[in-house]
Amino acid sequence: MSEVPAIDQAIVALFSGLEGVEAENDELTDTDVRESIHLVLNYFFVSGKNDRPPPTAYGMFSPEGDAAVSAVVQKFLAAVGAIREIERYPLGQARLDLLQNPKLTTPQGRMYDEFIGHTDAPIAQQEIPAYLYEPDYDE
């Protein structure tokens, strides 16, 4: 656990929210979606960049699915950004470790890696991929 319960609560809410989205959208844990969520969290939370709006296309199969994922991610970014103690955790590895805490589980007992995968170190990411702003739905 982190030293700040509010941060842990925001992270649990993030993964629990994604688990809730999965109830209506089986594709939530598909690799494309998992990696999209990871890249967005890596860019805005782990790397602390804030030079553009969060993406809206996570690789879900429907606009509704993408909107649901986007809402959960944006709620997390807003919630954790409002916690003053987040400044105790420097950008980079410390932020990634907060997200990849195996002790924080969803109501179904699932861990972070089912929703965002795992990396040992933050991904060096200068840009957000363009496809995260360009939905691709089969007609």
Minimal distance, residue 34 CB to other proteins, in Å: 7
Burial letters 89-116, b for 16+ CB under 10 A, else e: beeeeebbebbbbeebebeeebbbebbb
Written as six digits, the tokens of 102 are 């195996």
Part of the chain binding other proteins (CB under 8 A), chosen from 2-10, 77-85, 87-95, 117-125: 117-125
Single out the residue of 34, 56, 74, 84 in contact with other proteins (rule: CB under 8 A). Answer: 34
Q: Is residue 139 close enough to count as binding other proteins by CB under 8 A?
A: yes
* Cβ contact 17:106 at 8 Å: no
- Name the DSSP letter for residue 45: I
Minimal distance, residue 125 CB to other proteins, in Å: 9
Cα torsion 109, 12, 8, 78 to 10°: value is 170
Minimal distance, residue 30 CB to other proteins, in Å: 4
Which residues here bind other proteins, judged by CB under 8 A? 26-27, 29-32, 34-35, 38, 59, 61, 111, 113-114, 116-119, 123, 129-131, 134, 136-139
